[in-house]
Amino acid sequence: MTRILAVANQKGGVGKTTTSVNLAAGLAQSGMRVLLVDLDPQGNATMGSGIDKRTLRTSIYQVLLGLATADSARQKSESGGYDLIPANRDLAGAEIELVDLEHRETRLKGALESVAGQYEFILLDCPPALNILTLNGLVAANAVMIPMQCEYYALEGLSDLVNTIKRIRQHLNPKLDIEGLLRTMYDPRNALAQQVSAQLKEHFGKKVYETVIPRNVRLAEAPSFGAPAVSLDRECKGSQAYVALAGEILSRNGITAAA
């Protein structure tokens, strides 16, 4: 069965893309067939997977507008070990162009149907906004993974996202679940981080992943090599955390890893 996870948080810079590429690579290293979809005009997941966003012939933009199939738009990320539907700044125009199209919130869902069966996991790297692109991600997904930094305003932003998820459940995707909340760039010595982390657990209980992603410079450097850190240096602290996250997700979903 295919599990489609939207990696979403409308707050910018919380680690959505870092999580998307490293989790995709971690799951692939466990023998899973993985498709990563870049839903952000910034194209960071595309570049971080070793695919040049400036020279794309087909991207998620054409797929959402019905001008290309998911099958024809996907490419292999050699460095990551997964497939990728890339994005670039063309996608920024999609929001306006989609307005006039029918079923504008369900276009990604429809487009993925033909390829979904070929993967155990499809990850959707959403942009930092609750816009039509993120909406397409949330409608196509089985569940949402929410990366967040344990900072003062983190919980406030979270309620907007949780309310959006509730609205989508009412209208467009009744089964949309919260897969989990992921603490990123975590510093256990920081008292505020500990406090926010405790509040998170109080509100969301077991939905908070046990795995915590530490601040690690290798994770930040990896995109400049066009590869997930998990592929470049599996031993660094950041990679180990993402490999552990992949394991936690596999066991939550009742899947035994092949490798």
216 is a site residue for ligand ATP (CB under 6 A): yes
Among 3, 16, 53, 74, contact with ligand ATP (rule: CB under 6 A) = 16
Give the Cα separation of 46 and 89 in Å (integer).
11
Among 7, 8, 15, 16, contact with Mg ion (rule: CB under 5 A) = 16
Q: Residue with structure tokens 């680690």? A: 15
How far apart are CB 238 and ligand ATP at their closest, in Å?
Answer: 5
How many CA atoms within 13 Å lie on the side-chain side of 43?
19
Give the Cα separation of 12 and 51 in Å (integer).
22
240 is a site residue for ligand ATP (CB under 6 A): no
Q: Give the chain's length.
A: 259
- Number of residues in contact with ligand ATP under rule CB under 6 A: 19
How far apart are CB 255 and Mg ion at their closest, in Å?
Answer: 26
Part of the chain binding ligand ATP (CB under 6 A), chosen from 107-115, 157-165, 171-179, 211-219: 211-219
17 is a site residue for Mg ion (CB under 5 A): yes
Among ligand ATP, Mg ion, none, what does residue 12 contact (CB within 5–8 Å per kind)? Answer: ligand ATP
Helix axis angle for 107-116 and 132-140, nearest 10°, is 40
- Measured over the CA atoms of residue 219, residue 224, residue 230 and residue 236, the dihedral's sign is negative
What are the DSSP calls for 11-74, one per residue? Answer: STTSSHHHHHHHHHHHHHHTT--EEEEE--TT-HHHHHTT--GGG-SS-HHHHHTTSS-HHHH-
How far apart are CB 134 and ligand ATP at their closest, in Å?
Answer: 11
How far apart are CB 9 and ligand ATP at their closest, in Å?
Answer: 6
Footprint (CB under 5 A) of Mg ion, residues 33-92:
44
65 and 97 Cβ atoms separated by less than 8 Å: yes
15 is a site residue for ligand ATP (CB under 6 A): yes
13 is a site residue for ligand ATP (CB under 6 A): yes
Q: Which residues bind ligand ATP (CB under 6 A)?
A: 12-18, 40, 42, 44, 128, 184-185, 213, 215-216, 219-220, 238
